[in-house]
C-alpha cells in the first residue's frame, strides 16, 4: 500500500504553507475574499495562528464541518464524538464572546466548501496542519487540489512540533524546542466577522458508528471544553503533579497524578505550546521545592515525546496499516484467534489485573501509559494477536486517541518496529507491583470482590474451599486464564527473535533508525516505561 502525505510544506519554524498566493473572483477580477478558518482538531481561540492571521486579513468566517464518513471509520467511537461535539459547542460560545459565531455544517468537506463559495464569493482558507489517518490525509489532499483548481488561497500552520517535509531527524529536538518557544498567537485588537447559517440541529446529530461500541455511562467520561483543559493543566502543575514521576505507573495513583490533558490536546482545546510554556514557568517557580523539579522534567519529556511519535507517523503514515519493519511481515498475519481477541477486548482473559485495566479503560476512556503498554503487550505476545484489530479496539476506547502516537506505540509494544527492545510485560508482576493490595482489581472485577490476600492476583490457584468462602466459581463467575502467560511469552520471544535475526531485519533496522531514531543523547531521553 503506497501511502504518502502531501508534503509541499516548508521546514522553517513558523513559515505557513500557501497553496496559492492569491484568490480569484468568479468574474476573473481581484476581490477581497472571505477569510474562512477551518477548525478540525484545534477547537480553541487561544494560540490559534490561523484564526489570528485570518482576522488580521479581513472579515472572517469560523467554520467547523461534521463529516459523517469520518465518524463511520472503524477507529471512531461515540465517546470521541461526544467529547469533540462538546468542544465544538464550547468554541462557539468563545467566538460569540468575541462578537463572532461558529458555522457548523454537516456534510462532506468539498461540497460544504463549494456551497460557501457560492454563498460568499471569493474565499481564502486557513487551517492547521493535521497529522491524522489515511482518511483525513486523503481529505486534506482533496481540499488542497480543490483550492488550487478554484484559485483559492489555502494557508496552513503547524500546530504541534511536527515538521513536514522532514528528510532526517538531525536537530529535531532543538527545532521542537524552538517551535514551543515561539510566542503564543494572539488575536488582533480589532477584528470583524462574517457569519453563515449552521446546519439546523447539528448539536443533536449522532454518528453511525461502524466499529464495536465501547464505554460506560457518559458521566464517567472526562469533561471537554477550554475551561476544563485549563483547569486540568493548572491543577496538575500546581497540585496534582507533585509526585507525577513516582505515581504515573500505577492505575491506582495515575488517575490523579497524571496531567489528564491528553484528551484536550487531541481535540485542540489547548495547544501543546501552551502546555510547554506553562510547564517551563512552573519549573522556574518550583525548582527547589521537594519533588517538583523531577516531576516537571518528566512531564516536559512527555510533551516532547508526544510530538516525537506524531512526527514518526507524519513521516511514515503507512504504519496505520503495515508493519514499520517490513522484515516482520508474515509474523502474525495468518494466526489471528478471534476468541482470544474477544476475551481480551471484553476484559475476560482470566488475568484479573489485565481485565481490570481493560474494563477501567472501556468505562472511563483513559488509563495510564504503562497499563496501555501492558494491554497491548499481552495481546501481541501472550495472545499472539496481530496488532491491527487490538489497535482499533484501543483507538475506540481511548478518549485521547491521537493517531500519530497510537500507531507508533502499538507497533513498538508489538515488536514490529525493528528498532525497539522486546518488552513483554508479565501480567502477574505488574499486578503485584501496581496493585499490591488488589483494591483496583476488586473494584473493576467485582466477581472477585470476596477474594482476599495475595490470591487476588491468581485466583485460579485457590482451593475449592477458599473459592467457596470467597463466593466465586472460577470457570463460571470468572474465566480461567485463556493462556499460560509464561509459556506463550516464551514462545513469542523465540518467534520474534527468529524474525529479528535475519539480514533483512538488520537492514530494515538500520533504515528505520536513520529515518526515525532519536538524535538526543541517551542520558537525555525520556523513559517510555512510565
| Residue 355, C-beta contacts closer than 8 angstroms, at least 6 positions apart | 347, 348, 349, 444, 445
DSSP letter for each residue of 255-314: HHHS---HHHHHHTSS-HHHHHHHHHHHHHHSTTSTTHHHHHHHHHHHHHHHHHHHHHHH
d(CA 134, CA 4): 9
Predicted confidence band of residue 368 (pLDDT cuts 50, 70, 90)? very high
pLDDT digits (tens, 9 = 90+) for 70-100: 999 999 999 999 999 999 999 999 999 999 9
Q: Which of 501, 496, 508 is nearest to 332 (CA)?
A: 496
pLDDT confidence of residue 215: 67
pLDDT digits (tens, 9 = 90+) for 418-446: 888 889 999 999 999 999 999 999 999 99
Beta bridge partners of 105: 65
Q: Which whole number is the average pLDDT over 210-219?
A: 68
Q: Which whole number is the average pLDDT over 117-123?
A: 96
Torsion angle defined by CA atoms of residues 444, 447, 452 and 455, in that order, rounded to the nearest 10 degrees: -90
Predicted confidence band of residue 15 (pLDDT cuts 50, 70, 90)? very low
pTM above 0.75, yes or no: yes
Three-class secondary structure of residue 97 per DSSP:
helix
Lowest mean pLDDT among 47-51, 198-202, 255-259, 516-520: 516-520
Question: What CATH code would you report for 326-518?
Answer: 1.10.579.10
- Return residue ranges of the chain for CATH 3.40.50.620: 17-166
Asked whether the predicted pLDDT for residue 133 surpasses 60, the reply is yes
Q: Do 158 and 185 meet the contact criterion of CB atoms below 8 Å apart?
A: no
pLDDT digits (tens, 9 = 90+) for 268-323: 999 999 999 999 999 998 876 677 999 999 999 999 999 999 999 999 999 999 99
pLDDT confidence of residue 530: 30
pLDDT confidence of residue 505: 87
Q: Is the bond preceding residue 165 a cis peptide, omega within 30 degrees?
A: yes
Strand-pair category, 17-18 with 153-157? antiparallel
Could you please state the CATH topology (level 3) that the domain comprising 223-314 is classified under: 1.25.40
d(CA 286, CA 271): 23
pLDDT confidence of residue 319: 96
d(CA 134, CA 136): 6
Q: Which whole number is the average pLDDT over 342-354?
A: 98
- Return residue ranges of the chain for CATH 1.25.40.80: 223-314
DSSP letter for each residue of 459-508: GGGS-HHHHHHHT--BTTTBPPPSS-HHHHHHHHHHHHHHHHTSHHHHHH
Predicted confidence band of residue 117 (pLDDT cuts 50, 70, 90)? very high
pLDDT confidence of residue 96: 97
Three-class secondary structure of residue 126 per DSSP:
strand
d(CA 161, CA 114): 32
Q: What percent of the chain has pLDDT over 70?
A: 90
pLDDT confidence of residue 220: 77
Whole-Å CA distances, 26 to 33, 148, 400: 11, 14, 42
The pLDDT mean for the chain works out to 91
Asked whether the predicted pLDDT for residue 5 surpasses 70, the reply is no
Predicted confidence band of residue 362 (pLDDT cuts 50, 70, 90)? very high
Q: Which whole number is the average pLDDT over 358-367?
A: 96
pLDDT confidence of residue 209: 79
Whole-Å CA distances, 30 to 23, 33, 143, 188: 7, 9, 22, 25
Find the helix or strand (DSSP H, E) in which 433 lies: helix 427-434
Predicted confidence band of residue 155 (pLDDT cuts 50, 70, 90)? very high
Q: Do 411 and 318 meet the contact criterion of CB atoms below 8 Å apart?
A: no
d(CA 448, CA 455): 10
- Return residue ranges of the chain for CATH 1.10.579.10: 326-518
d(CA 448, CA 458): 11
Predicted confidence band of residue 218 (pLDDT cuts 50, 70, 90)? low
Asked whether the predicted pLDDT for residue 177 surpasses 60, the reply is yes
Predicted confidence band of residue 165 (pLDDT cuts 50, 70, 90)? confident
Q: Which of 108, 125, 119 is nearest to 66 (CA)?
A: 108
Predicted confidence band of residue 149 (pLDDT cuts 50, 70, 90)? very high
Sheet hosting strand 17-18, strand order edge to edge? 17-18, 153-157, 123-128, 34-39, 60-66, 102-106
Q: Do 460 and 349 meet the contact criterion of CB atoms below 8 Å apart?
A: no
Q: Which of 32, 45, 167 is nearest to 95 (CA)?
A: 45
Q: What is the CA radius of gyration of the chain?
A: 24
Question: What CATH code would you report for 17-166?
Answer: 3.40.50.620
Q: Which of 23, 391, 314, 21 is nearest to 140 (CA)?
A: 314
pLDDT confidence of residue 112: 98
Asked whether the predicted pLDDT for residue 488 surpasses 70, the reply is yes
Q: What percent of the chain has pLDDT over 90?
A: 82
What grid cell was written down for 89? 459547542
Half-sphere exposure of 365 (CA within 13 A, CB side): 27
| Residue 268, C-beta contacts closer than 8 angstroms, at least 6 positions apart | 40, 41, 42, 43, 44, 87, 128, 159
pLDDT confidence of residue 420: 84
φ/ψ of residue 9, rounded to 5: -85, 155
Asked whether the predicted pLDDT for residue 22 surpasses 90, the reply is no
Q: Which whole number is the average pLDDT over 462-472?
A: 97
Asked whether the predicted pLDDT for residue 49 surpasses 80, the reply is yes
Q: Residue 264: is it exposed, middle or buried by C-beta count within 10 angstroms (0-12/13-18/19+)?
A: buried
Amino acid at each position: 500500500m503506497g501511502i504518502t502525505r502531501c508534503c509541499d510544506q516548508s521546514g522553517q519554524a513558523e513559515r505557513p504553507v500557501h497553496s496559492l498566493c492569491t484568490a480569484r473572483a468568479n468574474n476573473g477580477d481581484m476581490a477581497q475574499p472571505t477569510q474562512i478558518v477551518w477548525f478540525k482538531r484545534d477547537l480553541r481561540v487561544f494560540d490559534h495562528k490561523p484564526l489570528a492571521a485570518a482576522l488580521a486579513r479581513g472579515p472572517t468566517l469560523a467554520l467547523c464541518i461534521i463529516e459523517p464518513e469520518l465518524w463511520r471509520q472503524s477507529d471512531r467511537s461515540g465517546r470521541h464524538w461526544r467529547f469533540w461535539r462538546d468542544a465544538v459547542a464550547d468554541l462557539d460560545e468563545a467566538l460569540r464572546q468575541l462578537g463572532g459565531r461558529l458555522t457548523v455544517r454537516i456534510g462532506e468537506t468539498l461540497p460544504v466548501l463549494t456551497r460557501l463559495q457560492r454563498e460568499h464569493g471569493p474565499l481564502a482558507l486557513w487551517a492547521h496542519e493535521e497529522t491524522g489517518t489515511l482518511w483525513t490525509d486523503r481529505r486534506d489532499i482533496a481540499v488542497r487540489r480543490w483550492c488550487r483548481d478554484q484559485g483559492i488561497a489555502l494557508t496552513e500552520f503547524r500546530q504541534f512540533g511536527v515538521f513536514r517535509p522532514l528528510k532526517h531527524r538531525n536537530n529535531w529536538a532543538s527545532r521542537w524546542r524552538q517551535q514551543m518557544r515561539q510566542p503564543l498567537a494572539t488575536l488582533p485588537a480589532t477584528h470583524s466577522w462574517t457569519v453563515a447559517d449552521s446546519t439546523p440541529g447539528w448539536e443533536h446529530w449522532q454518528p453511525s458508528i461502524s466499529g464495536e461500541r465501547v464505554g460506560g455511562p457518559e458521566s464517567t467520561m472526562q469533561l471537554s471544553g477550554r475551561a476544563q483543559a485549563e483547569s486540568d493543566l493548572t491543577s496538575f502543575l500546581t497540585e496534582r503533579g507533585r509526585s507525577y514521576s513516582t505515581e504515573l505507573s500505577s492505575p491506582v495513583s495515575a488517575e490523579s497524578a497524571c496531567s489528564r490533558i491528553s484528551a484536550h490536546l487531541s481535540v485542540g482545546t489547548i495547544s501543546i505550546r501552551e502546555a510547554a510554556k506553562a510547564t517551563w514557568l512552573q519549573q522556574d517557580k518550583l525548582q527547589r521545592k521537594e519533588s517538583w523539579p523531577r516531576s516537571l522534567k518528566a512531564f516536559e519529556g512527555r510533551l516532547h515525546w508526544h510530538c516525537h511519535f506524531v512526527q514518526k507517523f507524519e513521516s511514515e503514515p503507512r504504519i496505520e496499516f503495515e508493519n514499520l519493519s517490513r522484515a516482520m511481515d508474515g509474523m502474525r498475519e495468518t494466526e489471528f484467534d478471534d476468541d482470544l481477541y474477544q476475551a481480551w477486548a471484553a476484559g475476560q482473559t482470566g488475568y484479573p489485573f489485565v481485565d481490570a485495566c481493560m474494563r477501567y479503560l472501556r468505562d472511563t476512556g483513559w488509563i495510564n501509559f504503562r497499563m496501555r503498554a501492558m494491554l497491548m503487550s499481552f495481546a501481541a505476545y501472550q495472545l499472539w494477536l496481530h496488532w491491527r484489530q487490538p489497535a482499533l479496539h484501543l483507538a475506540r476506547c481511548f478518549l485521547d486517541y491521537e493517531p500519530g502516537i497510537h500507531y507508533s506505540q502499538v507497533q513498538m509494544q508489538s515488536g514490529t518496529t525493528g528498532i525497539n527492545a522486546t518488552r513483554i510485560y508479565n501480567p502477574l508482576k505488574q499486578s503485584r507491583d501496581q496493585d499490591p493490595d488488589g483494591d483496583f482489581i476488586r473494584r473493576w472485577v467485582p466477581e472477585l470482590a470476596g477474594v482476599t490476600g495475595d490470591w487476588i492476583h491468581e485466583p485460579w490457584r485457590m482451593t475449592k474451599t477458599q473459592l467457596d468462602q470467597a463466593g466465586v466459581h472460577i470457570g463460571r463467575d470468572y474465566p480461567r486464564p485463556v493462556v499460560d502467560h509464561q509459556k506463550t511469552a516464551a514462545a513469542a520471544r523465540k518467534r520474534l527473535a527468529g524474525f529479528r535475526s535475519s539480514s533483512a531485519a538488520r537492514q530494515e533496522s538500520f533504515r528505520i533508525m536513520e529515518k526515525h531514531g532519536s538524535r538526543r543523547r541517551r542520558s537525555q531521553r525520556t523513559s517510555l516505561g512510565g
